[in-house]
Amino acid sequence: MSSAALTAEGLQKRFGAVVAAENINVTVPKGARLSLIGTNGAGKTTFVNMVTGYLKPDAGTIHLGDRDITRLTPRQVTRLGVCRSFQIPQLCEQLTVFDNLLVAIGTAGRRFSFFQPAGGEGAEEEARELLDRFALDRYADQSVSELPGGVRKLVDIAMALARRPKVLLLDEPTSGVSSDEKFPIMDRVMQALQIEDVAIIFVEHDMEIVSRYADRVLAFYSGRIIADGPPDEVLRDAEVQRYVTGTVRA
């Protein structure tokens, strides 16, 4: 049985003359905290979309543990344990936080029924556990449309965790969040996920967040991985400073 949560080998993807992924090889161990960095169009989103089934690579394979998921649909990939939260949270605006979690729990276990409450037996206890883990208790009965941006992010990630994923992809988890909120929100997310044996892959443009919360960084440029290693090492790399962070010195 594979010790890796996710393995991508030889991924290639072109859109006409544009090379979006060129020979991408990545192994993500279970429990990893991996950050993807790069400017817009560098290949990060293409990689995430291939892992989640929204794009099919022109060549190469993707394995979740020992299971080949390369050609599966996004729904099949999600059911097997690859879940995603988005830069703009995908929430039911008019429902309360508690009801959003019930919907997530219900779809995760396909436990919807005309004869049971949303989510099925035990769903309310599971929803309250998620509220507690993400410190969302005081927002439980509020409509999502009334929530500040940082809280909406937490709800979205809590909903993704309801599926008990093996790999959780977070798309810019601190985007749209005020500077004084970003560290408390990431602290809460990492603390909530600490007890799960889940590999976290997060796309991030804030290098302070990358440095503090990633144990490994992949830097993308022009469809290629130009650096792979611990945050301090990658952020000191000359190519990364030139093409990603813009901090290279003459």
Q: State pLDDT tens for residues 186-218.
A: 999 998 888 677 999 999 999 999 999 999 999
Query: To the nearest whole number, what is the mean pLDDT of the chain?
Result: 89
pLDDT of res. 115: 39
Q: Are 210 and 35 in contact (CB under 8 A)?
A: yes
Average pLDDT of span 92-118: 74
pLDDT of res. 120: 54
Q: pLDDT digits over 39-66, tens only? A: 999 999 999 999 999 999 999 999 999 9
**CA 58 – CA 69 distance, rounded (Å):** 14
